[in-house]
Structure 1
């Protein structure tokens, strides 16, 4: 299951302490301001911007508009209008002139137009649902290319690939989902950028096994948050309950007993520890014939096809050979460490570095018996600062904030033959790429994957080469 930071906000896909964890509210949704004339305006929408927004202007001021499309004429409600701010924010409440790429949103609760008609904001997590899938990917590619140009001075077109086996409608891909609970004890989700929640039923982005639990039929009184995870290849789901402060163990046990067809545990969101109530507190994953064990609060890619797509891209890009020495930085539960260890064999070595204690324990289980793998829990920059075996290759998969200048400098100083960079944020990747380029390295190959359909998020893999 993704860590607490990703799990708390459905609009954030799968990042490490990503991505952005609003506190779980217990109230029902309320309109924060009336749709009066001084809060609305008619705007013409420009290009897509990083973060799921579209750029427009109002009386000379930049406005970041959500739920729009380039070229549209829309009526918006302003949601942030600080006079001292360099930009304002707004949501579309009516489309006056629609783009040909606009389609009916597949999730009514996340549809800005239907939400506005009911006097509230949409839930987060599907902010691109009103856009045809091929146009979603074109827009994501344009945003990625803009970040490369602006932050790394790299001008190259970017094509965004669909995930292997993607459904034609882009639904049913999410193997991890997080829900709030409203005051009435009903399953709920947050409105975008809000602590307010609304009750929900099916989540169209989730795999069928999540919805088949029918958690919306249960009385969840006493619970603040419900996280659900399903193995990527299918299997028994795991439900983690986060109780409210004064909820009794008896009440938690009663909620757990009402959940059929899943293992159930209690999650401490601060420590990440899971207490077993029924079944087991971990999931069994398999990627390209390799097995993994991931504990309830541990990080794992959330698209059902993401692990296979990314592992394949990494192995093809790095071409690890027997006897080579690799480092897997921000390694998580070992998604990439395991295949790298198999590729280099016992005559080679892999250094796995992960900051989360719980996730690092998962990696130790998944690499048990692999004596040529060193699993270190700690800060990446601190570990790289220690004496070590010279490296042939480095793979890094940092959190949304990226690796940063110091880690990039340490990687460059280790003089590997190749670096692979997996990223969930084009802006932080482009910034870090700039550090590599300044050191004489080059961007040799780049693949961008649409692992989060109907959202603005994307994942990428880059192969970087040192000076000739």
Structure 2
């Protein structure tokens, strides 16, 4: 008896039935797939689990490797569960590639990817440094409080949709320009689900046009906000005629008191409901800043970390930030208006701007985009000779490269925390502390 994944069928145009081979699935790799081999060729297979035997539909053929979807499970893993989001299965939308994996196994998957990526890209010395501080089990990616009880569902407070040619809200098919209409958003905060954005009967349909971008935000304080092509909207009015509110308020508990923020609805904010608090606590614990110290914060965004760092160093200390988005800096200016010990900088993070703004800093905190800071910026950071560097990373490969660059300058990992801020996807966050060896 075979097991059929609880999922959408793969598009027939991708491969004929008789061309769907069977493969034995190996370990996970960065990106949400597992590695298999077919006639000596590497195949990256999505929607499967290590140890399974599956029938695949090849979706992309390249000279060095192929990509494929598992469309039939012949020997299932004990960690396979019915998908919590079948519409993100083979042939479906992106963003839920681990929805068929039990939550503990998802975190084990991510922990293995983190350890292997640090070794393969960062090098054995970086891997050894991490092993020395994480123990024989290696780096772990841990769940946020309450996620297991909720099945990892309902955590996302920010959702972006695209309108189909038929006027229905949906998302892009994985690695495609096609937009598929959706019937559910199980990963979204319940407040977003209650907006009624999906389906043919949605009261929002007359507020958008085919191809429109729809952003839904469920803040921690106040009502949800919907933006259509960047403009506030309501189901009763057409685009451009809705309410003027373009920002939301967020409240974050922290070791330095309750933190209050105002953030543009279209601006960047952590999507998991518990992520802001978890990151603030992890960064404060890693930075261990003291009153009177100087902190350089790079890629500072709307001030999520700037505000608690400013409180931690006190009036006698100082925080210098640098952020490339003028919108984010505008938000940060509002959020830090009563903290004169913070100097907000707008501009790209480059070796020159790091060297100029970070003179005399005791601690550097950086939260770069997915590409990482890069070797040149890391060299500039280590050139400031701070006592401690706290690196917040959303991509393990970029983190590995940055840690390797720091190690060349004499900084080693002294603590590392993995946080599963994205249940049912392959993404996770890492907070790494570096100090001079």
**Same fold (TM > 0.5):** yes
**Cα offset, 1:234, TM superposition:** 4.6
1:322 aligned residue:
291
Q: How does 1:83-102 map to 2 (within 5 A)?
A: 85-102=63-80
1:303 aligned residue:
272
**Cα offset, 1:309, TM superposition:** 0.4
User: Does the residue aligned with 2:229 lie in a helix, a strand or coil?
Assistant: strand
Equivalent residue in structure 1 for 2:348, among 379, 399, 403: 379
**Cα offset, 1:70, TM superposition:** 0.7
2:227 aligned residue:
240
CA gap of 1:350–1:45, structure 2 versus 1, over 3 A, is same
CA gap of 1:142–1:438, structure 2 versus 1, over 3 A, is same
2:139 aligned residue:
158
Could you tell me whether the CA contact under 8 Å between 2:323 and 2:345 is conserved in 1? yes
1:447 aligned residue:
417
- For residues 70 and 181 of structure 2, the distance between their equivalents in structure 1, rounded to whole angstroms, comes to 22
- For residues 429 and 407 of structure 2, the distance between their equivalents in structure 1, rounded to whole angstroms, comes to 21
User: Does the residue aligned with 2:344 lie in a helix, a strand or coil?
Assistant: strand
1:345 aligned residue:
314
1:284 aligned residue:
249
The worse-fitting range, judged by mean Cα deviation, of 64-73 and 33-42 is: 33-42
- For residues 111 and 14 of structure 2, the distance between their equivalents in structure 1, rounded to whole angstroms, comes to 36
Give 4+ residue runs of structure 1 displaced > 3 Å after superposition: 29-32
Equivalent residue in structure 2 for 1:44, among 6, 24, 47: 24
CA gap of 1:170–1:335, structure 2 versus 1, over 3 A, is same
User: Does the residue aligned with 2:242 lie in a helix, a strand or coil?
Assistant: strand
User: Does the residue aligned with 2:413 lie in a helix, a strand or coil?
Assistant: strand
Q: CA RMSD in A?
A: 2.0
Deviation digits for residues 198-242 of structure 1, max 9, x if unmatched? 2113200001000000012132452511011111x2531111101
- For residues 86 and 445 of structure 1, the distance between their equivalents in structure 2, rounded to whole angstroms, comes to 36
**Cα offset, 1:37, TM superposition:** 4.2
- For residues 350 and 265 of structure 1, the distance between their equivalents in structure 2, rounded to whole angstroms, comes to 40
Equivalent residue in structure 2 for 1:33, among 13, 27, 30: 13
The alignment covers a number of residue pairs equal to 406
- For residues 358 and 84 of structure 2, the distance between their equivalents in structure 1, rounded to whole angstroms, comes to 52
Could you tell me whether the CA contact under 8 Å between 2:302 and 2:331 is conserved in 1? yes
Equivalent residue in structure 2 for 1:104, among 78, 82, 89: 82
Alignment of 1:70 with 2:44, yes or no, is no
**Cα offset, 1:35, TM superposition:** 4.1
CA gap of 1:235–1:202, structure 2 versus 1, over 3 A, is farther
CA gap of 1:422–1:282, structure 2 versus 1, over 3 A, is same
**Cα offset, 1:77, TM superposition:** 0.4
Equivalent residue in structure 1 for 2:195, among 203, 213, 224: 213
The worse-fitting range, judged by mean Cα deviation, of 352-361 and 376-385 is: 376-385
1:420 aligned residue:
390
Equivalent residue in structure 1 for 2:373, among 380, 384, 403: 403
Could you tell me whether the CA contact under 8 Å between 1:215 and 1:259 is conserved in 2? no
The worse-fitting range, judged by mean Cα deviation, of 452-461 and 435-444 is: 435-444
Equivalent residue in structure 2 for 1:141, among 82, 107, 111: 111
Q: Provide TM-score, normalisation by structure 2.
A: 0.89
Equivalent residue in structure 2 for 1:258, among 229, 235, 243: 235
- For residues 236 and 416 of structure 2, the distance between their equivalents in structure 1, rounded to whole angstroms, comes to 44
Alignment of 1:175 with 2:163, yes or no, is no
- For residues 355 and 277 of structure 1, the distance between their equivalents in structure 2, rounded to whole angstroms, comes to 30
Deviation digits for residues 219-275 of structure 1, max 9, x if unmatched? 2452511011111x25311111018xxxxxxxx99xx34259xxx986xxxxxxxxx
- For residues 462 and 222 of structure 1, the distance between their equivalents in structure 2, rounded to whole angstroms, comes to 44
Could you tell me whether the CA contact under 8 Å between 2:358 and 2:384 is conserved in 1? no
Consecutive unaligned residues in structure 1, runs of 5 or more: 1-28, 113-120, 244-251, 267-275
1:459 aligned residue:
429
- For residues 326 and 376 of structure 2, the distance between their equivalents in structure 1, rounded to whole angstroms, comes to 22
- For residues 236 and 390 of structure 2, the distance between their equivalents in structure 1, rounded to whole angstroms, comes to 42
Consecutive unaligned residues in structure 2, runs of 5 or more: 1-8, 132-137
- For residues 85 and 236 of structure 2, the distance between their equivalents in structure 1, rounded to whole angstroms, comes to 25
1:116 aligned residue:
none
1:20 aligned residue:
none
1:115 aligned residue:
none
- For residues 398 and 152 of structure 2, the distance between their equivalents in structure 1, rounded to whole angstroms, comes to 26
User: Does the residue aligned with 1:45 lie in a helix, a strand or coil?
Assistant: strand
Q: Provide TM-score, normalisation by structure 1.
A: 0.83
User: Does the residue aligned with 1:226 lie in a helix, a strand or coil?
Assistant: strand
